[in-house]
C-alpha cells in the first residue's frame, strides 16, 4: 500500500515537473517589439530561438511578424521560440535624376510612390528633364534625394521637372511680351517706363522674376517688365548766330543729329541763321535738327 502511494506521488511530481503538467502556453508575440517579445518568452520559461529579419511594407521595423510555435501552443520549459521580425521596407538604390527626361526617370522609379511633379523654370536643364527629386525623411519632413542613395520602397518621390528657361522678352513690344509670358504660364506685370536711347518706345528694356533671392521661378511667378519711353527728351540749344562749327558741336553734344550743307573750310566764318525745330523746342535724343547758314563778311 505504501509503495503504491509513493509510486502515485512520484508520478504526480513527474507530471507537474517534467511531464505535460509542466507545459506552458506560448504568449502572444506578434505585434510586439522584439525586446518585449524576448522578455515575454523568457518570462514564460522559454528560450529565444532564431530571430529572422524580413522586409515588410506593412509592419514597422522591429515589430514581431510571426512566432514559431504560435501563440497558445503548450510547450515544455526551456523550449525555443523562433521569431520573424520586421526589417521595415526594402531599401533600394535610387537612379540618376538630373538632366534625364522625366519619363525615363519615372520608369526607373516603379518601386516607389510617385507624387505629382513640381515644375520650375531652369536655364540649365532642358524642358521636360528632371532637375532634382525629393522624398521624406524618418520624421516625415521633406529631404533631397541623391543618386545611389538607399531609399525605402513605396516611399513617396517627387520629381522637380524643368520648364526650360524663362522666356527672354527683351526688345519685344509690351503686348508681345505679355503674350509670351502668359503663354509660358507666368504672370505679366508691367514695371517702370523709362527713357532709353537704345530701345524704341513701347519695347521691353529689361525684365526680372519677382521671387526672393535663391527661390526658383515656378508657374504663376510674376515677371516684371520695364518698357521704354523712347529716347530722353532734350531742349534744342539756341545756336542761331553761332558759327557753323560751334553750332554743330553744341547740337551733337546734346545728342542730336544735324542736317546741313557743309561750308567746308569756311565753317568758322559761316553764321547760323535758322534751325528747325527751333531753339528751346523739345526733341528726342537722336532726332535731326536742320541748320541753315550764311557767310559773313
Residue 246 sits in a domain whose CATH number is 3.30.10.20
Provide the grid cell at 3.
Answer: 509503495
Q: Is residue 6 in some structural domain?
A: no
> Is 281 among the domain residues?
yes
Confidence of residue 85 (pLDDT cuts 50, 70, 90): very high
pLDDT above 80: residue 4: no
User: Strand, helix or coil at 36?
Assistant: helix
Domain boundary among 128, 162, 196: 162
Burial of residue 24 (number of CB atoms within 10 Å: 0-12, 13-18, 19+): middle
Structural domains counted in the chain: 4
Residue 121: closest CA among 87, 163, 177, 150: 163
Estimate to the nearest angstrom the gap between the alpha carbon of 119 and the chain centroid. 7
Output the nine-digit C-alpha cell for 274: 535758322
| pLDDT value for 158 | 98
pTM for the model stands at 0.67
**What's the confidence (pLDDT) of residue 21?**
59
Residue 217: inside a domain: yes
Average pLDDT of the chain, as a whole number: 91
User: Over the stretch 21-53, which tens digit does the pLDDT of each residue have?
Assistant: 579 999 999 999 999 999 999 999 999 999 999
Give the structural domain span for 216. 174-228
> How far separated are the first and last CA of the chain, in Å rounded?
171
Q: What is the CATH number of the domain that holds 182?
A: 3.30.10
Residue 15, in any domain of the structure:
no
Looking at the fold, whether 138 and 154 belong to one and the same domain comes out as yes
In this prediction, residue 283 carries a pLDDT of 87
- Asked whether the predicted pLDDT for residue 13 surpasses 70, the reply is no
Q: Per the structure block, which three cell numbers stand in for 83?
A: 521569431
Q: Do residues 216 and 181 make contact, with C-beta atoms less than 8 angstroms apart?
A: no
Query: Is the residue at 111 inside a domain?
Result: yes
Residue 117 in domain: yes
- Domain boundary, last residue among 142, 162, 182: 162
- Regarding whether 71 and 24 lie in a shared domain, the answer is yes
The full length of the chain comes to 297
pLDDT in tens, 240-288: 999 999 999 999 999 899 999 989 888 788 999 999 999 889 888 889 9
Q: Is residue 73 part of a domain?
A: yes
Asked whether residue 12 is domain-assigned, the answer is: no
Residue 95: pLDDT above 60?
A: yes
Domain stop point among 108, 139, 162: 162
Amino acid at each position: 500500500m505504501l509503495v503504491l502511494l509513493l509510486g502515485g506521488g512520484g508520478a504526480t511530481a513527474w507530471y507537474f515537473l517534467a511531464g505535460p503538467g509542466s507545459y506552458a502556453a506560448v504568449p502572444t508575440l506578434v505585434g510586439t517589439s522584439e525586446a518585449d517579445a524576448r522578455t515575454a518568452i523568457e518570462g514564460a520559461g522559454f528560450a529565444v530561438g532564431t530571430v529572422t529579419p524580413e522586409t515588410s511594407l506593412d509592419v514597422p521595423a522591429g515589430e514581431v511578424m510571426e512566432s514559431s510555435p504560435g501563440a497558445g501552443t503548450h510547450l515544455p520549459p526551456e523550449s525555443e521560440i523562433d521569431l520573424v521580425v520586421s526589417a521595415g521596407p526594402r531599401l533600394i538604390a535610387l537612379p540618376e535624376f538630373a538632366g534625364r527626361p522625366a519619363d525615363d526617370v519615372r520608369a526607373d522609379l516603379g518601386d516607389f510612390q510617385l507624387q505629382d511633379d513640381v515644375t520650375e523654370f531652369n536655364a540649365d536643364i532642358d524642358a521636360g528633364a528632371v532637375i532634382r527629386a525629393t522624398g521624406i525623411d524618418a520624421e516625415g519632413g521633406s529631404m533631397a534625394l541623391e543618386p545611389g542613395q538607399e531609399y525605402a520602397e513605396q516611399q513617396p518621390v517627387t520629381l522637380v521637372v524643368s520648364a526650360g528657361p524663362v522666356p527672354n522678352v527683351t526688345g519685344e513690344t509690351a503686348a508681345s511680351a505679355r503674350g509670351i509670358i502668359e503663354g509660358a504660364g507666368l504672370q505679366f506685370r508691367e514695371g517702370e517706363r523709362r527713357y532709353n536711347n537704345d530701345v524704341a518706345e513701347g519695347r521691353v528694356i529689361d525684365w526680372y522674376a519677382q521671387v526672393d533671392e535663391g527661390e526658383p521661378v515656378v508657374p504663376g511667378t510674376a515677371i516684371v517688365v520695364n518698357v521704354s519711353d523712347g529716347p530722353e527728351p532734350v531742349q534744342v540749344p539756341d545756336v542761331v548766330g553761332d558759327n557753323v562749327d560751334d553750332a554743330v558741336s553744341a547740337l551733337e553734344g546734346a545728342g542730336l543729329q544735324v542736317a546741313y550743307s557743309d561750308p567746308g573750310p569756311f565753317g568758322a566764318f559761316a553764321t547760323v541763321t535758322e534751325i528747325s525745330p527751333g531753339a528751346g523746342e523739345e526733341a528726342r535724343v537722336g532726332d535731326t535738327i536742320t541748320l541753315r547758314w550764311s557767310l559773313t563778311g
